[in-house]
Amino acid sequence: MPDLDLSLNELAARNKAIWQMDAAGLSPAQRAMPALVHRNAYAPAADQTRVLLVGGLSGRQADVYLVLDALRNYLAGGDGLARSVALSAVPCGNPDGRETGGVPRNSAGGNPASGYPPQDNFFFDKQNPEARYLWRWIGFQAPDLLLEVRAGDQVAWEATPGATSVIPNSRPMAVDDSLLAALSAGKPNGVGTVPGLRLTAPRHALTAELARLWQSLARASKLPLSPARRTLDTRRRRTPLEIARLLSSVYGHKLDPVTYTQGVSVSGRLRLAKLDPQDRATVPDVVKLVEPYASGAREVFTGRVAPGSFNGLAWAQELTQATGDRRYADMLVSAANRYQAGASGGAPPPSDPDFRTEDMFMNGSILGRAFSITREGRYLDLLTGFLLDAPVQQPNGLFWHSRATPFYWGRGNGFAALGFAETLTHLPGNHPRRAALLAKHLKHLEALRPHQRPSGMLSQVVDLPGSYQELTATCMAGYAAARGMRLGWLDQSWRPWVDLAWQGVSERVDESGGIVDACTNTGVQKSLQEYLDRAAVFGLDDRGGAMALWFATEMEQLRRGTPAG
């Protein structure tokens, strides 16, 4: 529908206090599913019934027009309706859509109107990616009521079990593989159900039928919170310390192989132990975990080693500080000594010669710590030269994944933000390159700032509306901003951004330490589609758990006002 984006942008621009733009997902042709999101859609304390309006799963324009009419009808309800209902909308869940023989189809021949709940292939299903995007996006918006509208010749209301009282005499919805039926059953997205209504109506009858709905919701004062929303409310009420304790019970208990996904978790456990005076077990446990490497019984590294392996020692300085045992710090310095000066303008080996953003974090973490341990300037010379010479930050402030990879990968930008934050943490205040590094870092964070989704999350591809909401990028950028506030290079105007990022992450850490949608291991990809097709891990994940643990401990320190040092 060519004028849909224009219509929604006009509605958002004229009603800025009510709505903001988002995108719920992507079609096989990389077309976004635009969404109009109520300002209170993700607000924990909003005293309104949150209703999400969905249409266009068929791809028919008549269904989409019905959603747009419903949005205008909501505005016509004035302040009284606005006080009781917070309405968001995804007008077209099948932006490539067409009907073939009465069956909805997308550009890949799939049918986004059926096949729920999707079980796998997040978010790279070749036929029905829309279903994966909608399923997760709706689940973590967690409305109290999902309303689907369809154009038809006769008025008909259908209700899932949790919504039968909203419209009297509505028909029970069939138990099938439709979006509404699946969201109302089981424990979708690991959070809980969302009750639903489906209205089929001719366009001329829409106003009267919506009036029935608004009156019903007003008479009920407020529909009970959906089970999905109650779950997310419970998760977000946990303090950073509580979430850090949960994550540390799951992650950071292995170090084989020595690599950054393990090392960051071990570091996170040590940071938590420092914040939790009652913790007497973590340090001895970590000492036992790393002793085979510290004693020489096992080789720390074998063969050709990349910087990601070096950062498996991210915990070493912290463990030396906790125990007084210099062997751990010496291990880290030994790893830092493997770096060599690069050719003029080149990355220092063993960094990737193409200046991958991963190395910004890996190098910043290890070389920065090596300087803090030894006070030898050569480590900072290598590090600051690499960061300032890297030709991957673009004029818009964002980072390509590498100089040969012109895509704004989410975790790639997270690595850059984290690498600069780690470097600035260790860099003396009077270092001659500090101002230039800080300027690059602040330009980057300012560029990321408007790309935060209404949920608080960053996307798998930062600048592509509709790409999936990715955990590790959000943790890394959130950590960098929280640390910047705590150590003084960001001001308090960043606090809402940081808090919203933390809210999005906290909702995606479940009661067992599982996480939601962390991009799997990703090397340099050849196309934008390949970044979109990187699998999203839902459940236990060392990489996602590690970054969430670091973010949690940094948020706890920010909450306490812990100074530098």
Verify that 226 and 335 share a domain, yes or no. no
Verify that 396 and 422 share a domain, yes or no. yes
Count other Cβ atoms within 10 Å, centred on residue 21.
16
- In this prediction, residue 325 carries a pLDDT of 98
* Separation between Cα atoms, residue 277 and residue 525, nearest integer Å: 45
Which neighbouring-strand residues pair with 197?
147, 159
What pTM was computed for the model? 0.96
Verify that 21 and 119 share a domain, yes or no. yes
Q: Are strands 85-90 and 49-54 parallel, antiparallel or unpaired?
A: parallel
- In this prediction, residue 2 carries a pLDDT of 56
Verify that 539 and 474 share a domain, yes or no. yes
Pick from 37, 29, 541, 553: which is nearest to 273 by CA?
553
Instruction: Supply 159's token pair.
Output: 């209700």
- 546 occurs within a structural domain: yes
What is the three-class DSSP state of 239? coil
**Cβ pair 173, 223 in contact under 8 A:** no
Instruction: Supply 543's token pair.
Output: 């990489």
Verify that 242 and 232 share a domain, yes or no. no
* Separation between Cα atoms, residue 307 and residue 320, nearest integer Å: 21
What is the pLDDT tens value at each position of the chain, 565 positions in all? 558 999 999 999 999 999 999 999 999 999 999 999 999 999 998 889 999 999 999 989 999 999 999 999 999 999 999 999 999 999 999 999 877 767 889 999 999 999 999 999 999 999 999 999 999 999 999 999 999 999 999 999 999 999 999 999 999 999 999 999 999 999 999 999 999 999 999 999 999 999 999 999 987 656 899 999 999 999 999 999 999 999 999 999 999 999 999 999 999 999 999 999 889 999 999 999 999 999 999 999 987 888 999 999 999 999 999 999 999 999 999 999 999 998 888 999 999 999 999 999 999 999 999 999 999 999 999 999 999 999 999 999 999 999 999 999 999 999 999 999 999 999 999 999 999 999 999 999 999 999 999 999 999 999 999 999 999 999 999 999 999 999 999 999 999 999 999 999 999 999 999 999 999 999 999 999 999 999 999 999 999 999 999 999 999 999 998 765 5
Verify that 256 and 207 share a domain, yes or no. no
How many domains would you assign to the chain? 2
Verify that 208 and 246 share a domain, yes or no. no
In the block, tokens 């976004």 appear at 32
Verify that 200 and 242 share a domain, yes or no. no
Q: In this predicted model, what pLDDT tens digit does every residue of 230-285 receive, in sequence order?
A: 999 999 999 999 999 999 999 999 999 999 999 999 999 999 999 998 899 999 99
Go through the chain and tell me how many residues it has. Answer: 565
Verify that 126 and 245 share a domain, yes or no. no
Q: Which of 209, 236, 263 is the last residue of a domain?
A: 236
**Cβ pair 378, 386 in contact under 8 A:** no
Verify that 216 and 348 share a domain, yes or no. no
φ/ψ (deg, to 5) at 158: -125, 145
The domain spanning residue 153 has which CATH number?
3.40.630.10
- 565 occurs within a structural domain: no
**Cβ pair 459, 469 in contact under 8 A:** yes
Q: Which of 236, 254, 274 is the last residue of a domain?
A: 236
Is the bond into 257 cis (omega within 30 degrees of 0)? yes
CA separation (Å) from 229 to 116, 143, 145, 187, 226?
20, 7, 10, 12, 5
Is the bond into 310 cis (omega within 30 degrees of 0)? no
In the block, tokens 């940071």 appear at 271
Domain that includes residue 156, residue range: 4-236
Q: Which of 236, 270, 289 is the last residue of a domain?
A: 236
The domain spanning residue 357 has which CATH number?
1.50.10.10
Verify that 195 and 321 share a domain, yes or no. no
Verify that 119 and 250 share a domain, yes or no. no
- 109 occurs within a structural domain: yes
Count other Cβ atoms within 10 Å, centred on residue 339.
23
- In this prediction, residue 565 carries a pLDDT of 52
- In this prediction, residue 1 carries a pLDDT of 54
Q: In this predicted model, what pLDDT tens digit does every residue of 305-335 receive, in sequence order?
A: 889 999 999 999 999 999 999 999 999 999 9
